[in-house]
């Protein structure tokens, strides 16, 4: 199949979060399965010079952005067997950072329109266009309103993937005419609660809507999770489904990871003990066999930091030690800094995001705490399991779909249901009790490492959806 995958960021060229991981890994898995999947994203200023040097200029054309005609240069790159098209416009993308500018609406209107214009420029017609989040939500809208009946655009199907429904692309109604160039008789496609809502517009026009886990697909029909969009989704359930994301099992591989002081496998986990010892030494934590809990997250409320804050000292009283890595709201950063100051032999806190340290925590910790209020998919719990570190999670979104409680069959972690600090504390307590039985703990660690969270499984589900849309099944 021919699939055009478009996103505002994708590894290895540009990344600010989980979307880049998906846009870098899923197309590679699709190509590995024998399909022709190509990726389109902006050519940002932040693209590394060594990657930029390898890009090949293809051509340039103009893109209509409302009443403007804007330059668009096309550069082609290749990574992991995937062809990437990076769209160049220095006015929009030669900036420090990917998002957060006053004209983000216009920047990504340009991207959405350019994606469709690109098709006739490269002499390659996709059967499926898979768009991601609000930044490319206008692709199905433009396809339905402008391109569907043009020569060379017949029978293209569009898929819209929600990675986080919280970020919707909401703007004033004036952008429809001035920036999008969409006739006002199509305004109902875009209008929601008195404003333009790009994500809602994609719900209206895409052929299928996917989310990044099965549980998140039904959770976002509930006002608690939907950030106001449940009313727009309720009558679109017939085109909504969820596929669990995967992780890059080559990048995250405890058997070959060059950052680890010792390597280990599901059949021989002995090297994990050295990873723990070296991690605690580097973080200046007291030596000992007490359970070490890793936390790698953004310090924001929906990640469950309030729960951690509420019972943190009670968790310490269970004998736990903590290796914390992250950054975010100052109130949470200050809290963790205070805990590290008060308990220097038990708590290590590193502010920021340090990829090398993250991998060492994944490998060296015994447990990984992730009590999210909401979690569309979550990759950290899968990475931790890949390294034999058992997750302690709240049953929501992708956490529910990937972690099974050790109290039942085939357990690979510890879970709790309600968003309650003492329910989380109970799960931590159960994990600590389980940890005391070294033989049982070693067995569950070994079995957990055998879980398959590779993109191959997710790719099969996406291919099935694409084939259904294209009429190949």
- Give the pLDDT confidence of 119-132 residue by residue, as tens digits: 999 989 999 999 99
Looking at residue 407, its pLDDT comes to 84
Residue 217 near residue 242, CB atoms below 8 Å:
yes
CATH code of the domain covering residue 342: 3.40.50.2000
In a domain, 266, yes or no: no
In a domain, 260, yes or no: no
In a domain, 383, yes or no: yes
Looking at residue 450, its pLDDT comes to 95
Same domain, yes or no, for 333 and 222? Answer: no
In a domain, 254, yes or no: no
How many domains is the chain partitioned into structurally?
Answer: 2
Same domain, yes or no, for 461 and 444? Answer: no
Same domain, yes or no, for 206 and 285? Answer: no
Looking at residue 116, its pLDDT comes to 96
Same domain, yes or no, for 157 and 26? Answer: yes
Same domain, yes or no, for 240 and 289? Answer: no
Looking at residue 473, its pLDDT comes to 67
Same domain, yes or no, for 209 and 290? Answer: no
Same domain, yes or no, for 201 and 305? Answer: no
In a domain, 19, yes or no: yes
In a domain, 143, yes or no: yes
In a domain, 256, yes or no: no
Same domain, yes or no, for 237 and 324? Answer: no
Same domain, yes or no, for 215 and 196? Answer: yes
Looking at residue 409, its pLDDT comes to 81
Looking at residue 17, its pLDDT comes to 80
Same domain, yes or no, for 94 and 158? Answer: yes
Same domain, yes or no, for 119 and 194? Answer: yes
Residue ranges of the chain whose pLDDT lies below 70:
473
Domain that holds residue 36: 2-246+456-470
In a domain, 52, yes or no: yes
Looking at residue 328, its pLDDT comes to 92
Looking at residue 153, its pLDDT comes to 93
Same domain, yes or no, for 172 and 285? Answer: no
């Amino acid at each position: 199949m021919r699939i055009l995958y478009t996103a505002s960021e994708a590894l290895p060229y540009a990344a600010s979060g989980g979307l880049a991981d998906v846009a870098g890994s899923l197309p590679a898995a699709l190509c590995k399965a024998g399909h022709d999947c190509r990726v389109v994203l902006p050519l940002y200023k932040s693209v590394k010079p060594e990657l930029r040097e390898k890009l090949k200029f293809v051509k340039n054309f103009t893109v209509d952005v409302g009443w403007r005609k804007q330059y668009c240069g096309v550069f082609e790159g290749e990574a992991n067997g995937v062809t990437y098209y990076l769209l160049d416009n220095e006015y929009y993308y030669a900036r420090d950072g990917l998002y957060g500018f006053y004209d983000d609406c216009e920047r990504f209107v340009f991207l959405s329109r350019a994606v469709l214009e690109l098709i006739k420029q490269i002499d390659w017609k996709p059967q499926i266009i898979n768009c991601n989040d609000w930044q490319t939500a206008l692709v199905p809208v433009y396809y339905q309103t402008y391109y569907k009946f043009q020569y060379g655009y017949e029978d293209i199907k569009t898929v819209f993937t929600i990675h986080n429904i919280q970020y919707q692309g909401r703007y004033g109604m004036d952008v429809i005419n001035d920036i999008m160039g969409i006739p006002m008789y199509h305004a109902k496609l875009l209008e929601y609660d008195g404003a333009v809502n790009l994500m809602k517009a994609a719900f209206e026009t895409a052929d299928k809507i996917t989310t990044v886990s099965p549980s998140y697909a039904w959770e976002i029909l509930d006002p608690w999770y939907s950030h106001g969009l449940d009313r727009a989704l309720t009558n679109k359930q017939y085109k909504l489904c969820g596929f669990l994301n995967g992780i890059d099992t080559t990048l995250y591989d405890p058997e070959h990871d060059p950052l680890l002081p010792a390597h280990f496998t599901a059949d021989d986990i002995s090297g994990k003990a050295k990873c723990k010892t070296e991690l605690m030494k580097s973080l200046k934590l007291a030596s000992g066999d007490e359970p070490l809990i890793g936390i790698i997250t953004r310090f924001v409320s929906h990640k469950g930091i309030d729960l951690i804050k509420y019972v943190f000292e009670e968790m310490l009283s269970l004998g736990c030690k903590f290796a914390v890595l992250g950054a975010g709201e100052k109130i949470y950063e200050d809290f963790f800094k205070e805990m590290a100051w008060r308990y220097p032999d038990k708590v290590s806190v590193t502010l920021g995001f340090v990829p090398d340290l993250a991998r060492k925590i994944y490998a060296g910790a015994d447990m990984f705490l992730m009590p999210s209020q909401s979690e569309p998919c979550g990759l950290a719990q899968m990475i931790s399991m890949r390294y034999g570190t058992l997750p302690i999670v709240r049953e929501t979104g992708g956490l529910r779909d990937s972690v099974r409680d050790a109290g039942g069959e085939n357990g690979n972690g510890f879970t709790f249901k309600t968003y309650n600090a003492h329910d989380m504390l109970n799960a931590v307590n159960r994990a600590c009790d389980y940890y005391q039985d070294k033989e049982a703990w070693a067995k569950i660690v070994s079995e957990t490492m055998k879980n398959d969270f590779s993109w191959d499984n997710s790719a099969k589900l996406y291919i099935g959806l694409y084939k259904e849309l294209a009429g190949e099944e």
